[in-house]
Amino acid sequence: MSQPVAIKNALISVYYKDNLEPIIRELNRIGASIYSTGGTETFIRSLGVDVIAVEDLTSYPSILGGRVKTLHPKVFGGILARRSNESDKKQLGQYEIPEIDLVIVDLYPFEETVESGAGHDDVIEKIDIGGISLIRAAAKNFKDVVILASKDDYTELYEMLSSQNGTTTIDQRKRFAQKAFNITSNYDTAIFQYFNQDEPLPVFKHSIQTSQTLRYGENPHQKGVFYGNLDAMFNKLNGKELSYNNLVDVDAAVALIDEFTEPTIAILKHTNACGIASRSFIKEAWIDALACDPVSAFGGVIIANAEIDAATATEIDKIFYEVLIAPAYTDEAVQILQGKKNRIILVRQPVELPAKQFKTLLNGVIEQDKDNTVEGPEHMTPVTNRKPTEQELKDLYFANKVVKHTKSNTIVFAKNSQLMSSGVGQTSRVDSLKQAVIKAESFGFDLNGAVMASDAFFPFPDCVELAAEAGILAVLQPGGSINDKLSIEKCNEKNISMVTTGVRHFKH
């Protein structure tokens, strides 16, 4: 059973014919009979190689506009017959069915058709029936049959046949079967996702065919893989490969910067912003973002939403960072930034990002919609005697964007479209506030006239009292606590403004 199997008969019917010719000629050289249909049959004949039409084997023509060509016992019998089973072999002889030792079949381009924006009828016609059945049959019988289901494997098969004189080993056939089932499962998942848009079934199905092995996972003793196409997302101009932790921070950076339209730069460490500022010019945004917390900026991920010029690059190059992301760079900026070989410099490409988030948890997976809501001034309801000024409303909006992307429990202080400090990931909200006050003071920020945003409601008035003592003049929170009244009364006592949004932004 583990002995090499010689290819005597091959069935070939493919959509993609590039690089197929060497295989055809090698099969012809070893004397294998070739069965084919439609365009592939015409292609083989054009090479001057003999080919037997499947219709001649089955004695049935291709019918229903090509929808039924190979679905016949004389085809599937030859693929599924067990060579070591005497009963199977006897039936092959009885019905004059040739043993098919090699099946080269690919699938109609369903995903490409969907992505092209084609109409529903065109998409349905690209659901392959015969091809996927042939692939599954040949893969199931890998002990006796070679299945090739992708044009990406043409060269590998050609080299195998030419170096082994038309034979294959059981390990080689099993490997091709593994690849084939990967292709069919991905194909079926794509079809299911297309049908599962209206009134979706509560099932979890995802299939990503591209991947990149990472140096390691979150820590060196953990293995890590990224599934997806990073080359579509970024054009790398410099530096080493992104690590697992880099990717987690880059994901957080992209989500944060997409909240802003004016020239903005953010610096992140462990997915939280340690500096962010919006200014008229990108260099000014960098200087003020770095001022927020130049200590934490060391080794961070930097992201901009505007072109990096030479002047800005010169300033950024003065610190150590892991990753820099921008939509564009001037040539002079690239020359400056490439001076340090390990710094990762990325150009962000316009790619549509998923609308859902999921992760493994316990013995399953949890999934949710992305938090795509951020409340602007029009969504802020004043609940205190003092109303926020126009500038305070602008700063509250800025702070609310930042707090949404900061680990809970979190408090954010901001003034003049600049992050002044934040308290991040504390087990109590008041501890987050205390942390933010200490950080602001340590970097010389005057909180008088600043605003404060909270990702969730205040359970007690202590946060408002401490904020007022620090100089905060306006507060944003979602509201919803049974003690909202106490916090509002404390604001009125301290003559500061409070607005509620009705929307919580926990981030765990």
What is the tens place of the pLDDT at every residue in 359-396? 999 999 999 999 999 999 999 999 999 999 999 999 99
Active-site positions read 140, 270
**Average confidence (pLDDT) over 105-129:** 91
Q: End-to-end alpha-carbon separation of the chain, Å?
A: 54
Percent of the chain with pLDDT over 90: 87
**Average confidence (pLDDT) over 411-434:** 96
pLDDT value for 1: 45
pLDDT value for 72: 85
Pairing of strands 102-105, 146-148: parallel
Whether 280 contacts 263, CB under 8 Å: yes
pLDDT value for 3: 72
Distances (CA, A) of 140 to 87, 89, 133, 179, 188: 18, 17, 11, 12, 17
pLDDT value for 69: 72
pLDDT value for 203: 93
| pTM (2 d.p.) | 0.88
Between 70-74, 129-133, 292-296, the lowest mean confidence (pLDDT) is in 70-74
Peptide bond into 272 cis (omega under 30): no
- Residue 40 — φ and ψ, nearest 5°? -70, -40
Please state, in angstroms and rounded to a whole number, the distance separating the CA atoms of residues 150 and 152. 5
**Strands of the sheet with 321-326, listed across from one edge:** 234-238, 344-348, 321-326, 300-304, 264-269, 272-278
pLDDT value for 389: 97
Q: Which two tokens stand for residue 262?
A: 């004016």
- 427-481, pLDDT tens digit by residue? 999 999 999 999 999 999 999 999 999 999 999 999 999 999 999 999 999 999 9
pLDDT value for 64: 77
pLDDT exceeds 80 at position 354: yes
pLDDT value for 2: 56
The SS3 call for residue 40 is: helix
Burial annotation 31-59 (CB, 10 A radius, 16+ → b, else e): ebbbbbbeebbebbeeeeeebbbbbebbe
Q: How far is CA 411 from the centre of its chain?
A: 30
pLDDT exceeds 70 at position 348: yes
Please state, in angstroms and rounded to a whole number, the distance separating the CA atoms of residues 460 and 489. 11
**Average confidence (pLDDT) over 395-400:** 98
Residue 359 has, within 13 A of its CA and on its CB side, a CA count of 4
Please state, in angstroms and rounded to a whole number, the distance separating the CA atoms of residues 33 and 98. 10
Q: Which two tokens stand for residue 150?
A: 């992708």
**Strands of the sheet with 497-500, listed across from one edge:** 381-382, 497-500, 474-477, 451-454, 411-414, 419-423
Please state, in angstroms and rounded to a whole number, the distance separating the CA atoms of residues 69 and 22. 25
**Average confidence (pLDDT) over 305-313:** 97
Task: Give 70's pLDDT tier (boundaries 50, 70, 90).
Answer: confident
- 30-50, pLDDT tens digit by residue? 999 999 988 999 999 999 999
Total residue length of the chain: 508
pLDDT value for 62: 74
Whether 471 contacts 414, CB under 8 Å: no
- 157-185, pLDDT tens digit by residue? 999 999 999 999 999 999 999 999 999 99
Whether 486 contacts 507, CB under 8 Å: no
